[in-house]
Each structure stands twice: as structure tokens, then as C-alpha cells.
Amino acid sequence: MKRNGRTVLIALEIATPFVLVTLYALWAAPRDSFFFPPLGEILAALRADWFGERILSDIWPSIRRILLGFSLSAILAVGLGFALGLSRRARIATAPLVEFFRALPPPALLPLTILVLGVGDVAKVLLIALVCLFPILQNTIAGITGIDPTLRETARMYGITRRGELLHVVLPGALPAIFAGLRTSLSLAVIMMVISEFVAASNGIGFGIWQAKRLFDIPLMWSGIIILGILGYILNMALLQIESRVLAWHRGARKAAE
């Protein structure tokens, strides 16, 4: 009975996505609807366009923008977060500013960066970095202030140097929270990449989708959306992999990674 139940569960889990895709294929094929083209056409566009020359001309520029902006903000935010996390007064004094930028809907900054930095690659990378900065910063600060004071005092009592304390007590203690911030920021990075390419760009996945929409090439548009889904999925999985490796020692790591 018990084994039977588990088999049913696993079968359900694997079968449902296939059933849904098949249902779409069966629903769309005879209809030939303009906005919801047959599955075959979408897959053909996926293969011919996105997995063809667009890998280099559009997909790679988008990935590069995300990675550059995201890494830049990760470095800045963790550094700044350490400074603010370790100094109580600085933290309290800057709390409203951090809170403000964290609450600001990120796309509101898009007109600003276009105004100040233009529409080039640098502007996009800096926009992504700016938007990703605050969730990581806030989480780093929370991670550091959340460390049990006894831990740091014990370390100090055993004569561990300031550098050793930072490297071996504060950093590991804050890492789970830092990764939570990194995950939030990574999805923001994808969002900002897409909308900055919608609004003004000459290449990139977002640009490709927007152009397809303007030309009413609907299968190409849907296939581009699928590409973005795959990209989001892969980036998310990659970060989770890094996290579970880095935090393998952390008991709550698995829970936090979910």
C-alpha cells in the first residue's frame, strides 16, 4: 500500500507537466490561433533562431550583463554590509536610506539611468548592479547583527585576532543570510536585464522578444519567453548549487536553500 502510494506520487509528478504540454499542443494545433500558435511552430523558432546565431548575438550579451552587474553588486554590497554590520552607529544612521532604496520599485530607476548613463552596455550593467545592491546589503547587515554575541566574545576571549574573527566567525555566520540576499538579487538582475532591453537595446534576449512582438512574429516571441524561463531556471539552479556547496557545513543550509 505504502509503496503503491509512492509510485503514484512519483508518476503524478512526472506526468503532469507532460500532460499540460500535450494538452496545449492538442488545443493549439487545430485552432491555429494567432496569439497561441501550435507548439511545433514555437519549437521550430526555438531551434532555428534562439539555438542558432542568436546564442552569440543575443543570449550571450544578456547573460554577460546579468553576470557583470550581479557580481559587481555582490562585491560592493557584502563589503558595505560588513562596514555597516560591524558599526552599530553607522548602521542605525543609514537605516532609513537603506530601507528607502530597498523599498523603491527597481524599474523606477530605469528612466534615471537612461537619463544619466544613456542606453549602452555600461548603463545596463550599472543599473543591474544598483538594483541588486540593496537586498544583498540588507541581508548582509541582518546576517552580521544576527550572530550570537557570545560566539564573537568567545572568539575574542581565546585571543583570536580581529582578522581571524572576521574571517572565521563573522563571515561564516553571515553567509546563510548573504545567500538569501543573493537569491533575491539574482531574480531582480534578470528582471532588470529584460526590461532594460525592452526599453532600449540593440541586442539581447529582451530585445529579441520585443522585436518579435513588434513584427508580430508570435512563435518567435513565445520561444524567446521560453528561453528567458530556461535562463532564469539555470541561473537559479547554479546559485543554489554554489550555495549548497559553500554552506555544506551549515545545518540549516538545506532548509535555507529551498
CA-based max dimension of the chain? 76
Interface mask toward another protein for 68-107; x: CB under 8 A = --------------------xx--xxxxxx-xxx-xxxxx
Residue with cell 543599473: 127
Interface mask toward another protein for 211-250; x: CB under 8 A = -xx----x--xx-xx--xx--xx-xx--------------
- End-to-end, the C-alpha distance of the chain in Å comes to 30
Question: How crowded is residue 69: how many other Cβ atoms within 10 Å of its Cβ?
Answer: 26
Task: Specify the length of the chain in residues.
Answer: 258
Residue 190 CA to residue 188 CA, distance in Å, equals 5
Closest alpha carbon to 70 in 131, 138, 129: 129
- Name which of 177 and 228 has its Cβ closer to another protein: 228
Figure out which of the listed residues 17, 30, 159, 252 binds another protein, where binding follows CB under 8 A: 17
Residue 258 CA to residue 255 CA, distance in Å, equals 6
Closest alpha carbon to 37 in 229, 230, 217, 224: 217
Q: Where are the beta strands (DSSP E) in the chain?
A: none
Any contact of residue 172 with another protein (CB under 8 A)?
Answer: no
Figure out which of the listed residues 44, 86, 198, 246 binds another protein, where binding follows CB under 8 A: 198
- Name which of 173 and 249 has its Cβ closer to another protein: 173
Q: How far is the CB of 105 from another protein (least distance, A)?
A: 4
Residue ranges that bind another protein, judged by CB under 8 A: 8-10, 12-17, 20, 35, 88-89, 92-97, 99-101, 103-112, 114-116, 145, 149, 187, 190-191, 194-195, 198-199, 206, 209-210, 212-213, 218, 221-222, 224-225, 228-229, 232-233, 235-236
